[in-house]
Structure 1
């Protein structure tokens, strides 16, 4: 689907969609709990549907009514073999591999897009020496079988925090105590904080140590009711639109959230003053999802902006450093890819053009934000990619006055 966008000022009130990161984690915890949990305010997307499908395959029962989900948990009991379709969700894949192994379920994992190329080497190594077998040939589908044993798991912290989160879900289910030892600096730490906080609410604890985390075995997840808080990752697109001249009032955000992408508020506050946009140097090791829209903000600044410590973005839904650079350069920007980030130089010559989404939801939404300020038509090819995380994005965009029209359904 290709969409044409004309410049506009977005105005009005918006209930920010529920946090995808929080929803993934609450769904998994509820599915592993004894009893019935009720989750409200969930924003359905392809990624969330993938996690619900995964936990259904592992034995949980879901009743979905719009944004309200009732979950009858498994209590972490062993289940039969199954097939899980992760679609394009890296979170689903890496969160569920150790969970399936912990409950002794032989599981075949499927995926599409770039997901089959996303690395799982850390799990193959660490789970493989603790009772788990992988029939894996560097792509999908692949099969995980055997029963995970408690032990010390040595995990690199600079590849993806998703590996740590997956183990934090699984290790409490084992009989013995385990430890996660970080062998390098933990990047995207706020995502692990979200995991630990969610575990705590569902009755499971993980103790932080000097080396990483210690997890007692034999714990039981407890069912609970909760409302999923708004997503700062999605709010960031409208925060940047506001910095570029729009006037969107955002609701459903938790001011005390541990979401790392809340950092967008601080970055904008530091660089935008008296209606002027400055420039920034942003360490994005903890906030990788902000990079595309941060680059848009930098393109309209008054000096060179630098994004660094973002090398891991090369293995997202697209090579997100390359696709972000290509998106802005197609619109008259001057963005250079570095070894671990981007340099964004304002040109004062941004214009209409055609953007290839590269199948990446965040490129689509960042381009739509840039289009609010650009003089001319912006065409986004493959705009349906936004459905991965924010299916109602263009509905909300147009509700706020955005001028977006579908020009091709191919």
Structure 2
């Protein structure tokens, strides 16, 4: 499917974005492992999160949809999942395959996880190694480097694991496996990654302690079903933050957004670039901070980000590259090599797609350098099957000289099926 994005004159009004993708995944998983019912409100009905529901139904969990974005998970408890009859297909979801692998590592049965072509290229050794150290028998292509993953779980032992990467998926897989271990399990990261798993484990009743870079979980808790109200996904809101900053004469309020401090690196970067952004109505849902974001058109200045910035902004870096084209001076990103093993090689992909529409970009092995301001010309680009590339290039289209045609635009459905519709609702076309 192709999508044409026309230049616009302003962004006005207010908007609510779909539920947080990370929290939606984890609510289903922890609901499945809890006793009693978990009621989820604000669930993201994107393809990735629906893959998680499908997988856990195959593991014997009853999951009922009771409204458009509301589900009831009838929990089985920690040790009552059923051995699946068929291969478990996670679709495009890296979160589903890695976090579910941690849970399956503690189950006394055999299972196989597989996904689409993108999943088959993504690195799985980063979870295979710690889960194997805990006692699970895991194999895959190239000695477990890639899916499909064959998992024979069972009795696990607690470990202290120094993760070579700051990855919420790796950390979460180990913590979920730690629920089934014989003693406490600790994960130490080089930088703190997003902490939705820790917040939700605590909400469901796990015994867990955390500092910025170290998390310890104790085994065999009594997890209890919860009422989970999922806020809007910050990573989805980021595209509208960027649009309102970049398009002249804009004023936009984005309502009920998750503002977890480990997720809002993009917002902090925009403020550091002189973006006019205000947080309103700040409050808590469960263990997550939530609020409204008010954004005005701004004249941005280039900055450099690296190191502990990166885990907090990793999903928004393709969008950050688009914003950088409109900032005065030089914007530089380094230490972001993790982008090369996402749904696509996001460094190479965003650099090449920006070049397709006339932007000059220097590609680095671990990031990029962009000098602004530059005029985006318009033209034809591709998502390469990556939802965040597609949405980033849509924002570029709003400020381009000519329309931008996005090929494979259906990739956006992975995380935000209503994205193009919502973008039209707040846009004034030239």
Q: Fold-level match, TM-score > 0.5?
A: yes
Change (3 A) 1:217 1:26: same
Alignment counterpart, residue 185 of structure 1, candidates 190, 201, 204: 190
- Structure 2 unmatched ranges of 5 or more: 277-297
Provide the aligned length of Structure 1 versus Structure 2: 397
Is 1:108 matched with 2:120? Answer: no
Please give the secondary structure, in 2, of the residue aligned with 1:30. helix
For residues 91 and 251 of structure 2, the distance between their equivalents in structure 1, rounded to whole angstroms, comes to 35
Q: 1:340-355 maps to which residues of 2 (within 5 A)?
A: 340-346=366-372, 348-355=374-381
**1:247-292, CA deviations, whole angstroms, 9 ceiling, x for partnerless residues?**
32211124xx325332322222221368422111122421200101
| Corresponding residue number in structure 2 for 1:359 | 385
Aligned counterparts, 1:289-300, within 5 A: 289-300=315-326
Contact 2:390/2:406 (<8 A) preserved: yes
3-state SS of paired residue (1:277): coil
Indicate yes or no: 2:122 matched with 1:96.
Answer: no
Q: 2:213, 2:5 → 1: CA distance?
A: 49
In the superposition, relative to structure 1, how do residues 307 and 59 fare at CA in structure 2: closer, same or farther (>3 Å)?
same
**Alpha-carbon contact 1:24-1:51 (below 8 Å) kept:** yes
- 1:173 paired with 2:180, answer yes
Give the superposition deviation at 1:225. Answer: 0.7
For residues 390 and 98 of structure 1, the distance between their equivalents in structure 2, rounded to whole angstroms, comes to 26
Match 1:285 to one of 282, 286, 310: 310
Match of 1:154 in 2: 161
1:163 pairs with 2:170: yes
Q: Give the counterpart of 1:326 among 352, 358, 361.
A: 352
Deviation at 1:211, TM superposition (A): 8.0
Deviations 1:339-370 (A, max 9, x none): 21110122533201111211110010001111
Deviations for 1:214-268, whole angstroms, at most 9, x for unmatched residues? 22112121101121011111111000101112432211124xx325332322222
Is 1:243 aligned with 2:245?
Answer: yes
Gap change, CA 1:253 and 1:375, over 3 Å in 2: same
Aligned match for 1:144, one of 136, 146, 151: 151
Q: So what's the TM-score if we normalise by structure 2?
A: 0.87
Q: Is the 8 A contact 2:322 2:392 kept in 1?
A: yes
Within the candidate set 65, 85, 90, 1:86 is matched to 90
Q: Distance in 2 between matches of 1:119 and 1:148?
A: 25
Distance 1:24 1:6 in 2: 34
Task: Write out per-residue CA displacement over residues 132-167 of structure 1, whole angstroms, 9 at most, x where no aligned residue.
Answer: 222312443331113141221424241633111112
Deviation at 1:209, TM superposition (A): 6.7
Report deviation, 1:104: 2.0
CA distance in 1, matches of 2:125, 2:344: 20
**Structure 2 equivalent of residue 220 of structure 1:** 222
* Contact kept? 2:31, 2:73, Cα under 8 Å: yes
Root mean square deviation, CA, Å = 2.1
TM-score (norm 1): 0.91
Q: Distance in 1 between matches of 2:386 and 2:428?
A: 21
Q: Which has the higher contact order (CA 8 A, sep 6+)?
A: 1
The alpha-carbon deviation at position 26 of structure 1 amounts to: 1.5
Deviation at 1:213, TM superposition (A): 2.8
Contact residue 131 and residue 177 of structure 2 kept, 8 A: no
Structure 1 unaligned residues grouped into runs of 5+: 405-410
